[in-house]
Amino acid sequence: MAETKQIDSLWLGADVVTMRDGHYNLIADGALAVHHGELIWVGPRSDMPDFTARQQHRFDGGIITPGLVDCHTHLVFGGDRSQEFEQRLNGVSYADIAAQGGGILATVRATRAATQAQLVTSARWRLARLLAEGVTTVEIKSGYGLDEQSELTMLRAIRELAQSVPADVKATCLAAHAFPPEFRDNPQGWIDILCQRLLPQVKAAGLADAVDAFCEHLAFSPAQVRTVFDCARALGLPVKLHAEQLSSLGGATLAAEYGALSADHLEYATEQDVRAMAQSGTVAVLLPGAFYLLRETQRPPVSVFRQYGVPMALASDANPGTSPALSLRLMMNMGCTLFGMTPEEALAGVTLWGAKALGMQATHGSLEAGKVANFVHWPLARPAELVYWLGGELPCQVIYRGEAQ
């Protein structure tokens, strides 16, 4: 007689949307067995081994998906830019707003003026909105301090925030987000500080899991990004890149050359960029929130990503200037309606491929034995409903590391 295996919990009574290999791979009347915060078995209930569970949870229908992954956010910052949003809609140009001291530098001033505790408190409120909609893994970038100490404070705030929320939080150093006002006429001076002083401190203190940069005509040039990436590589830090958002500079190809985890935005990515990303395994992270708010018209080349088999992730890009988005589900809808993705691609984009964009696909993003037990129960008939409903918090039960939240 086979020995009964003792486990922590069983989860039954719903269809399981595994997202294995980036597809629904739906298991009707599925079961999930959890032990020590890890999935040890996933499959049809009729095939389930003989488990004895300390706790058994039974749902009344619905679906279970992997916990959602928001792989690109800027949730830690001071102040907000709602006044600028109103100004733009009243016809004030971005150049005029910048001349008045607005734009990203307004957020820089507010972030520099905030304490670490204030940054954590305001970010926790924003993050709570995402967690309520099933997010269990999130990446948060620095990049609004733009001086040595303020960037370190932002990264410490991200690490502190991670200790107090039921989510896996990745920190990314985006000190190459924009040039500080003090270095407007001396860009190399900021790059020198970033590479010679800031990044070594970040690495030594374990404050970041990756390094990012903004490659654009109004930010960092490809040559400047290369300098930053060379430094990151020497320190053993993975890289990712804001690329091809407003123009085509070959940033995505550059990111692929460095084996970047992801290239993000990509509205102006070329076939050459996509081919390079396919060869390097770099994920395309699409950010429809910024596309929508900026009222852009150039869409990322979704069909070309499909053609070359480049995984497409979706993320909120939650930030105070161009994507004040607090709903990853809404981004899934926008990925379909604005960019032409399918609902299955959108769900893969916020599960398996979102995890891959963070280098976490071995442990996160799909419901398979050996992965962490992060999943969500939704009282819905089919996965496409996650994309279909606009607005409002869909009722859901979030399970993080095997524990109901």
Annotated binding site for Fe(3+): 72, 74, 242, 317
Binding site feature residues for N-formimidoyl-L-glutamate? 144, 319, 321
Question: Rg for the chain (alpha carbons), in Å?
Answer: 21
CA of 291: how far to CAs of 14, 68, 140, 299, in Å? 36, 21, 20, 8
Binding site feature residues for 4-imidazolone-5-propanoate? 81, 144, 177, 245, 322
Residue 386 phi, psi dihedral angles, 5° rounding: -60, -30
Q: Nearest-CA neighbor of 404 among 11, 138, 7?
A: 11
Strand order in the sheet with 262-265: 241-243, 262-265, 283-286, 312-314
Partners of 58 in beta bridges: 12
Q: Report the alpha-carbon distance of residue 405 to residue 394 in Å, rounded.
A: 15
Residue 56 phi, psi dihedral angles, 5° rounding: -125, 130
Unique residue bearing structure tokens 């991670």: 162
Assess contact for 211 and 237: CB atoms under 8 A.
Answer: yes
Q: Report the alpha-carbon distance of residue 238 to residue 36 in Å, rounded.
A: 29
- Scanning 3-136, the segments in alpha helix (DSSP H) are 82-89, 94-99, 104-113, 116-131
The separation between CA 35 and the C-alpha centre of its own chain, rounded to angstroms, equals 27
Burial of 101 (0-12, 13-18, 19+ CB in 10 A): exposed
Binding site feature residues? 72, 74, 81, 144, 177, 242, 245, 317, 319, 321-322
Partners of 30 in beta bridges: 14, 44
H helix count then E strand count, the chain: 16, 16
* Sequence-ordered list of residues with C-beta below 8 angstroms from that of 303, at least 6 positions apart, any chain: 340
Residue type, 66: P
State how beta strands 26-35 and 262-265 pair: unpaired
- Scanning 244-403, the segments in alpha helix (DSSP H) are 251-257, 271-280, 288-293, 302-308, 328-337, 343-349, 352-356, 385-388
- Six token digits for residue 154: 């932002």
